[in-house]
Amino acid sequence: MAQRHRSERVAEQGRRFGHLLDEHAQVLHLLDDAAALRGLARRVREETGAHIGLAGPVEAEQVLVLRQWNGTWATGLHDLHVEMGLGLGGLAAAERRPVWVADYCSSELITHDFDAPISADGIKTMLAVPMVRAGRVQGVVYAAMREVSYFGGRQLDAAVNLADSGGLALQTASAARRQREQAAAAERRRIAAELHDSVGARLFRIGAELRDLRTHAQPDSAELLDRLASLEDQLAETASAFRDSVHALDHDEPAGGLAATLSRDCAAFQRRTGISAQSVEIGQLPACDRHRTRALLAATREALLNVEKHAGARSVLISAIALDDGIAISVADDGNGWSEPAGGGIGLRTTADRLAELGGTLSVVANEDGGLTARIWIPLP
């Protein structure tokens, strides 16, 4: 009797363990699109009796890419890129409905851009079902036979159900990936802020002390003055490298566009420094590619950094406007002034060089009522 109870407990534990493994796989598929697609390629073979299972997401520029496969002989279908409307999968995705052909290479229903890899795997009958979620085609799942065959109602239902679950998995995995990216970006910004407030402030203090020593050194102490100047140059290079590292940490894509990012930068600057800061968009800014947006933001942030360290300002105004077939940003302060790009500020010189690589310019001019204005401009293609 005791032996039977032990056997029953072991069997029950085995069932519970198997159930937990299934739940783990389901959660994994909801968080990892590669795992979800790999599972689809395997399950479509198991549940339809097909010789080959394929699954792929719709990626950039609305191109379907066959990322996972099960049962293939050759490699021609691996990572195959399929444009909308082409072949069987492209047709299913474009029309958002299941499509199947009895003999792929002789079918008049589809284009024959992919006959070579299809023939290399001996494929005859093939079914493609789009994975549609929230009104968007997330990908396509395929079932293929190496003989002229027929996909009946049960097999079609099984493939459609798998495509539905696959669409949910890809949508959920995409949302999870965005959350991870946002969390990583937030952590980078936190580290960048801590570095700026600690290491950056320390570098600034060392530089101020070196300048003070050089100012009060005896005029006849040529060797000491040379050493202090050399140390200042080394410190300037270190500070520039440090700023580049901080900018690299805080390189996440600007959410909501350039104007929204400038507004957030103003709010962060005001919280950090206590200096009143405001951002104004004059008219609607045109669309700007990633590289130009980053260059504009980096230049604006460098200007704000100089205001913070050198200007003694009470307020800053950032304005952005479409000007001369490009985008112009002005950073105006009411302080005491700071270095111009040609005047030795290594950060500003580096920023001006980066803008120049994209055809842009950076200049600093004095305001009539005090303070300086950094003028940043970059052309649009």
CATH assignment of the domain containing 343: 3.30.565.10
Distance, in Å, from the CA atom of 249 to the CA atom of 183, rounded to the nearest integer, reads 13
Q: What is the pLDDT of residue 120?
A: 96
3-state secondary structure at position 3: helix
Q: What is the pLDDT of residue 217?
A: 73
| Chain centre to alpha carbon of residue 75 | 30
Q: What is the largest CA-CA distance in the chain?
A: 104
Do 337 and 366 form a contact (C-beta atoms < 8 A)? yes
Distance, in Å, from the CA atom of 229 to the CA atom of 169, rounded to the nearest integer, reads 61
The answer to whether residue 311 sits within a structural domain is: yes
CATH number of domain containing 134 = 3.30.450.40
The answer to whether residue 12 sits within a structural domain is: no
Q: Which amino acid does the sequence have at 296? A: L
The answer to whether residue 10 sits within a structural domain is: no
Same domain, 146 and 288: no
The residue length of the chain stands at 381
Same domain, 167 and 261: no
Q: Which amino acid does the sequence have at 212? A: D
The answer to whether residue 367 sits within a structural domain is: yes
Residue 59 φ/ψ, nearest 5 degrees:
-110, -155
Quote the percentage of the chain above a pLDDT of 70. 78
Q: What is the pLDDT of residue 206?
A: 77
Tell me whether strands 126-133 and 136-144 are parallel, antiparallel or unpaired.
antiparallel
Terminal-residue alpha carbon distance, the chain: 84
User: Which residue, of 124, 157, 178, is where some domain finishes?
Assistant: 178
User: Which residue, of 156, 178, 200, is where some domain finishes?
Assistant: 178
Q: Which amino acid does the sequence have at 118? A: I
Burial class (CB within 10 angstroms; exposed 0-12, middle 13-18, buried 19+) of 198: exposed
Residues of the chain with pLDDT under 70: 1-32, 176-186, 188-189, 192-193, 195-201, 239-256, 338-346
Q: What is the pLDDT of residue 3?
A: 64
Domains identified in the chain, total number: 2
Q: Which two structure tokens, joined as six digits, stand for 72?
A: 């293939």
Query: E strands of the chain, at which residues?
Result: 52-59, 63-65, 68-70, 81-83, 99-101, 126-133, 136-144, 276-282, 315-323, 326-333, 361-366, 372-379
Distance, in Å, from the CA atom of 254 to the CA atom of 260, rounded to the nearest integer, reads 8
Same domain, 137 and 274: no
- Dump pLDDT digits (tens) for 335-377: 887 655 444 456 778 888 889 988 999 998 888 778 888 999 9
Same domain, 155 and 275: no
Cα–Cα distances (Å) from 200 to 193, 275, 315, in that order, read: 10, 18, 22
The answer to whether residue 185 sits within a structural domain is: no
Q: What is the pLDDT of residue 246?
A: 63
Q: Which two structure tokens, joined as six digits, stand for 59?
A: 């990626």
Distance, in Å, from the CA atom of 146 to the CA atom of 188, rounded to the nearest integer, reads 51
The answer to whether residue 152 sits within a structural domain is: yes
User: Which residue, of 161, 178, 195, is where some domain finishes?
Assistant: 178
Question: Which residue is listed with tokens 């500070």?
Answer: 239
Same domain, 273 and 172: no
- Dump pLDDT digits (tens) for 119-166: 999 999 999 999 998 788 999 999 999 999 999 899 999 999 999 988
The answer to whether residue 173 sits within a structural domain is: yes
Same domain, 120 and 263: no
Tell me whether strands 63-65 and 52-59 are parallel, antiparallel or unpaired.
antiparallel
Same domain, 172 and 266: no
Same domain, 143 and 268: no
Domain that holds residue 57: 22-178
Tell me whether strands 315-323 and 276-282 are parallel, antiparallel or unpaired.
parallel
The answer to whether residue 247 sits within a structural domain is: no
Prediction pTM value: 0.48
